[in-house]
Amino acid sequence: MTNLQIFLDIATEAALSAGVILQDYLGKVEDAITEKGRPGDLVTAADKASEKVILEILNRHFPQHSILAEESGKLGNQDNEYLWAIDPLDGTTNYAHQYPCFAVSIGLFINGVSQVGVIYDPFHNELFRAAAGLGATRNRRPIKVSQTNELSKSLLTTGFAYDRRETSDNNYAEFCHLTHLTQGVRRGGSASLDLAYVACGRVDGYWERGIAPWDIAAGIILLAEAGGKITAYDNSPFQIDSGRILATNGYIHNELSQELIKVSPLSAW
């Protein structure tokens, strides 16, 4: 097997193990929910237990690799060419309310480039996997993006950042604008699943601001391998640390980018 296949298989082991933890804790965390600084930015015992099992598996197999985990932060030698970006529970607010839209997300960057990604939705038992040059799958079957080629016929998804109450730099105005131009805009509450749904053709495009690398590390390689396109809002090259992403099936990308650019900020409304 290639190294990427090995990395993919170990990431899958970690994601599935974490998924078992999330299923076990579901509906049992009401008394163990705290906020991490901003209203609505929650963490539960399930987040911590899920991350613990992921770290144990990755450290056992790849003790020299560096890690960026949502709850634990930076671990290991950050100068290592291999960096795992982990979100042990993407969609914590959903999870805390037992709303069935959450996932485990594990991505691997090699020299700063996303190369491996695994997203596991334990509630629906959906496993999304991809590695550079190896394709993208859902439950081991190949997936690809939709062929919708007009924004007016598209279905989009987005999310709202935790600091949305504090800044006019949010996407409320964009949400309203694009709701009128498309067949609909959904807000699932899990960035990794948003990207997975674009990758498998359930939605045609996704944009969001205020996201962290661990939110999208797995999803960007999944979408790339499924035939999609990822850039900044203005169609310039995507930067993982920018906090903003525009991801589509490719066919509506330019049109969606143009519409995002023309929307006035909420403060001007």
- Point out the annotated binding site for Mg(2+): 70, 87, 89-90, 215
The type of residue at 53 is V
Task: Report CA-CA distances (Å) from 123 to 25, 156, 213, 238, 257.
Answer: 12, 22, 24, 31, 33
Res 268: pLDDT: 47
Q: Which CATH class is domain 1-142?
A: alpha beta
Contact 244, 171 (CB under 8 A): no
Going by the DSSP 8-state scheme, the letter that residue 169 receives in this structure is -
What are the extents of the domains in the chain?
1-142, 151-268
- pLDDT digits (tens), the chain, 269 positions: 569 999 999 999 999 999 999 999 998 876 566 655 555 556 788 999 999 999 999 999 999 999 999 989 999 888 899 999 999 999 999 999 999 999 999 999 999 999 999 999 999 999 999 999 999 999 999 999 999 999 999 999 999 876 666 666 788 889 999 999 999 999 999 999 999 999 999 999 999 998 999 999 999 999 999 999 999 999 999 999 999 999 999 999 999 999 999 987 776 44
Q: Is the pTM of this model over 0.85?
A: yes
pLDDT for the residue 17: 98
Distance CA(187)–CA(185), nearest Å, equals 7
Residues near 46 by beta carbon (within 8 Å), at least 6 away in sequence:
21, 22, 25, 26, 29, 89, 95
User: How confident is the model at residue 161, as a pLDDT?
Assistant: 75
> What CATH number does the domain located at 151-268 have?
3.40.190.80
Residue positions in the annotated binding site? Answer: 70, 87, 89-90, 215
Sheet (strand 244-248) strand order: 185-187, 156-158, 205-209, 244-248, 229-231
